[in-house]
Chain A
Amino acid sequence: QVQLVQSGAEVKKPGSSVKVSCKASGGTFSSYTISWVRQAPGQGLEWMGRIIPILGIANYAQKFQGRVTITADKSTSTAYMELSSLRSEDTAVYYCARENRVSSGYLNYYYMDVWGKGTTVTVSS
Chain B
Amino acid sequence: QSVLTQPPSVSEAPRQRVTISCSGSSSNIGNNAVNWYQQLPGKAPKLLIYYDDLLPSGVSDRFSGSKSGTSASLAISGLQSEDEADYYCAAWDDRLNGWVFGGGTKLTVL
What's the nearest-Cβ distance from chain B to residue A123, in Å? 21
Known A-B contacts A35-B99, A112-B47, A116-B44; the reply to A45 vs B104 at CB < 8 A is yes
Contact A44 B88 (CB under 8 A): yes
Tally chain B residues at the interface, Cβ within 8 Å: 26
Q: When chains A and B are docked, how far (Å) is the Cα of A40 from the Cα of B45?
A: 14
What's the nearest-Cβ distance from chain A to residue B33, in Å? 4
Known A-B contacts A109-B32, A111-B35, A112-B35; the reply to A47 vs B47 at CB < 8 A is no
Q: How many A-B residue pairs have CB under 8 A?
A: 66
Tally chain A residues at the interface, Cβ within 8 Å: 26
Contact B45 A45 (CB under 8 A): yes
Q: Of all chain A residues, which has the CB nearest B54?
A: A102
Contacts of A29 in B (CB 8 A): none
**Which residues of A pack against B, CB within 8 Å?**
35, 37, 44-47, 49-50, 59-62, 95, 97, 100, 102, 104, 109-113, 115-118
Closest 7 CB pairs of A and B: A111-B50, A47-B99, A109-B33, A44-B104, A115-B44, A111-B35, A45-B101
18 contacts between A and B (CB under 8 A): A35-B99, A37-B99, A44-B88, A44-B102, A44-B103, A45-B88, A45-B101, A47-B99, A47-B101, A61-B98, A95-B44, A100-B50, A109-B51, A110-B33, A111-B51, A112-B35, A112-B45, A115-B44
